[in-house]
Amino acid sequence: MFGYIALNTALLERDRADEFRRYYCGLCVSLKKRYGQPGRITLSNDMTFLTVLLDSLYMPDLSGQSFRCGLHPIKPREYYQSDIIDYAADMNILLAYYKALDDKNDDGRPIDQVKFKMLAKAFEQVNDRYPDKCAAVQNLLHEIGKLESAQSTDIDALCRLTGLMLAEIFAYRKDHWEEILRRIGYGLGAFIYYMDAYEDYGKDIKKNRFNPLKTLHAQPDYEDLCKATMTMILADVTESVDLLPLIRNIDILNNVLYSGVWAHYARMHKDQILKKEHTNE
Amino acid sequence: MSDPFQVLGVSPSATEEEIKAAYRKLAKQYHPDLNPGSTTAEAKMKEINEAYSQAIKIKKGGQSYSQSSYGGNSSYSSGQSYGYGGQSNQYGQNGYGNQNSSGQGGYWNPFGFGGFSGFGGFGQQNDGQSSYRSNYSQTYDNPELQAASDYIATGRFQEALNLLNRIPSHDAAWHYLNARANLGLGNRIAALNSARSAVSMDPDNQEYRNLLNQLDYGSQTYREDSGGYDFKSLLCSNPCLTCCIANMLINCCCGRGGYFCC
């Protein structure tokens, strides 16, 4: 479910992709500082997007530094530090923890146990800092789980719950922008749930697993419908983003929202896309 | 309330970009970090924020709105801690439907995927709302459909849905009403599906087309704005080769040439 909110590096100039990386690295550094090595396993593009979004909105004074990352020993990397990055790091832990909890209970693979244990300690700190958020996210995940166990095909409900979950994550502060940020998170949450169900459909059916799109899949216009639905959901997001006074890094944000989010979808339809290009020449 | 454009120091004919730039300039000046503890700076910041939102709203063709929310339905503004269905019986038998929508299905609201269809939509929403009721003149021979239609007209969307779910045959009219009922509850995904079906089954029906257009309105803008981003470019990157090997436990950013994997 996570990982859809990413860049399309092919359509971004090198220096702009580098800029995104400064936030990504900043997140990594923050995770390591606050939660040690276990924290870094949670690093995600999704929360990097949130970082760039919040950074663009609140425009903190960024202090870039150079450091030599243990994973990239040869080339020095720059990264940013800010309260926003620290916040996103916390949210990384929050999401990863609950996801690990979910995975552990679902599949029960040994790796899930390991991940979960590693995150538990980090999560305690996050829970202390944001008890309401954590409780809300936990409840929402629980409700999603209930619906899925009941094999619900109420995709609106499932998307709504996921949306509300991300809305919590995106609601950085109680201020003038909270509502729009929640709306952005809400749309993205709905999108990732839907896209996840859509992408996993074949795999789920093969493994005789539940997929909420089962009923819709029987419709002859299934493909068109899914594309239209996901577009509708994203339109809400981009509309809301456009309400914000964003100037810094707006090209990066747009790259993600108009292109990057469709990466998995494009790969699923690779043949059609390539064929279309060919015939359009 | 003072003139938002004046507060921002721009002319009412300024573009959105100019408004945003003006905001940024002022925000930099009165930023709380640069004026710690200053109540005047804080008050000014509040004024600027509100002026900005007001100005943008006007630019996008909507009307002025209260500062506290965009749709008036939001529970965030009232400060109450909200669940995921709002006040009571959120996960009750009614599912996750928005109990408070009362005909404002087009509003975004935290109780449902209530499709904020943008300021164009907002403006539309008010028109749509009146057409919701007054143009709702279509009568149905089928008494059950008529009953559902009446429920919808009075904002009783869940009752309409319950009724519709008992009707076995799903013709165009059924889909249209199903779309409206779902939209009222904030179930935009189901609403879109049914609206598409209604139009597909009865392409000449203008009312059905209007509903689909209302749902599709934002998507049109999205599609236009994504014109510069082609799908093919999403295919050409190879997964990064210099990605760290111990990726079982550690996700890390990749080198050049591709995605930041994870």
pLDDT tens column, A29-60: 999 999 888 777 788 889 999 999 999 999 98
Q: Hey, of A143, A170, A179, A264, which one would you mutate to test binding to chain B, going by the most B CBs within 10 A of its CB?
A: A179
User: Is B231 close to A266, i.e. CB distance below 8 A?
Assistant: yes
Q: Hey, of A77, A156, A244, which one would you mutate to test binding to chain B, going by the most B CBs within 10 A of its CB?
A: A156
Q: Does B201 touch chain A (CB under 8 A)?
A: no
- Output the 3-class SS for A94-140: HHHHHHHHHHHHHCCCHHHHHHHHHHHHHHHHHHHHCHHHHHHHHHH
Mean pLDDT on A129-145: 93
Shortest alpha-carbon distance between residue B135 and chain A (Å): 26
Mean pLDDT on B181-194: 97
In sequence order, the β-bridge partners of residue A79 are A65
User: Is B84 close to A164, i.e. CB distance below 8 A?
Assistant: yes
Burial class (CB in 10 A: 0-12, 13-18, 19+), A109: exposed
User: Which DSSP string corresponds to B159-223?
Assistant: HHHHHHHT-----HHHHHHHHHHHHHHTBHHHHHHHHHHHHHH-TT-HHHHHHHHHHHHHHHHHH
User: Is B235 close to A28, i.e. CB distance below 8 A?
Assistant: no
User: Is A238 close to B222, i.e. CB distance below 8 A?
Assistant: yes
Contact A244, B212 (CB under 8 A): no
Q: Hey, of A32, A132, A219, A232, which one would you mutate to test binding to chain B, going by the most B CBs within 10 A of its CB?
A: A232
In the predicted model, is pLDDT for residue B36 greater than 80? yes
User: Is B231 close to A262, i.e. CB distance below 8 A?
Assistant: yes
Categorize the per-residue pLDDT at B77 as very low, low, confident or very high, splitting at 50, 70 and 90.
very low
Residues from chain A contacting residue B236 (CB–CB below 8 Å): 10
- From the CB of residue A216, how many other CB atoms can be counted at a distance below 10 Å? 21
Q: What is the pLDDT of residue B134?
A: 39
Mean pLDDT of chain B: 71
Q: What is the bridge-based pairing of β-strands A65-67 and A77-79?
A: antiparallel
DSSP state at residue A67: E
Conformational region of residue A200, where left means phi above 0, alpha means psi within -120 to 50, and beta covers everything else: alpha
How many helices (H) and strands (E) chain A has is answered by: 12, 2
Q: Which of residues 156-175 of B touch A (CB under 8 A)?
A: none
Write down the pTM of the prediction: 0.84
User: Is A155 close to B69, i.e. CB distance below 8 A?
Assistant: no
Residues from chain A contacting residue B234 (CB–CB below 8 Å): 8, 10, 259-260, 262-263, 266-267
DSSP state at residue A66: E
In the predicted model, is pLDDT for residue B94 greater than 90? no
Mean pLDDT on B63-91: 33
Q: Which residues contact A117 (CB under 8 A, 6 or more apart)?
A: none
Residues from chain A contacting residue B235 (CB–CB below 8 Å): 266-267, 270, 273-274
User: Is B118 close to A139, i.e. CB distance below 8 A?
Assistant: no
Cα end-to-end distance, chain B, whole Å: 49
Q: 3-state class of A220 per DSSP?
A: coil
Q: Using alpha carbons, select from A27, A23, A55 the residue that is nearest to residue A39.
A: A27
Model pLDDT for residues A74-125, shown as the tens digit of each residue: 788 889 999 999 999 999 999 888 878 777 666 667 777 777 887 888 889 9
In the predicted model, is pLDDT for residue B50 greater than 90? yes
DSSP state at residue A5: S
Look up residue B212 and give its two tokens.
């689909």
What is the Cα Rg of chain A in Å? 19
Q: Which of residues 69-98 of B touch A (CB under 8 A)?
A: 69-70, 74, 76-77, 81, 83-84, 91, 95-96
Q: Which residues contact B226 (CB under 8 A, 6 or more apart)?
A: A258, A259
User: Is A262 close to B258, i.e. CB distance below 8 A?
Assistant: no
Q: How far is CA B26 from CA A63, A178, A245, B8, B74, in A?
A: 22, 20, 12, 7, 28
User: Is A156 close to B19, i.e. CB distance below 8 A?
Assistant: no
Between B126 and A36, the more confident residue is A36
Residues from chain B contacting residue A41 (CB–CB below 8 Å): 249-251
Shortest alpha-carbon distance between residue B206 and chain A (Å): 20
Query: How far, in Å, CA of B226 to CA of B234, rounded?
Result: 13
* Residue at token pair 């590693």: A118
User: Is B189 close to A9, i.e. CB distance below 8 A?
Assistant: no
Query: How far, in Å, CA of B253 to CA of B256, rounded?
Result: 10
In the predicted model, is pLDDT for residue B240 greater than 60? no
User: Is B252 close to A143, i.e. CB distance below 8 A?
Assistant: no
Residues from chain A contacting residue B222 (CB–CB below 8 Å): 231, 234-235, 238, 258
Residue type, A171: A
Q: Which residues contact A194 (CB under 8 A, 6 or more apart)?
A: A155, A159, A226, A229, A230, A233, B189
Query: How far, in Å, CA of B207 to CA of B218, rounded?
Result: 19
Contact B86, B93 (CB under 8 A): no
Of the candidates B52, B237, B244, the beta carbon closest to that of A71 is on B244
In the predicted model, is pLDDT for residue B222 greater than 50? yes
Residues from chain A contacting residue B200 (CB–CB below 8 Å): 221
In the predicted model, is pLDDT for residue A21 greater than 90? yes
Shortest alpha-carbon distance between residue B261 and chain A (Å): 8
Q: Using alpha carbons, select from A138, A108, A107 the residue that is nearest to residue A123.
A: A138
- From the CB of residue A226, how many other CB atoms can be counted at a distance below 10 Å? 20
* Residue at token pair 């990466």: A263
In the predicted model, is pLDDT for residue B102 greater than 70? no
The complex's ipTM? 0.92
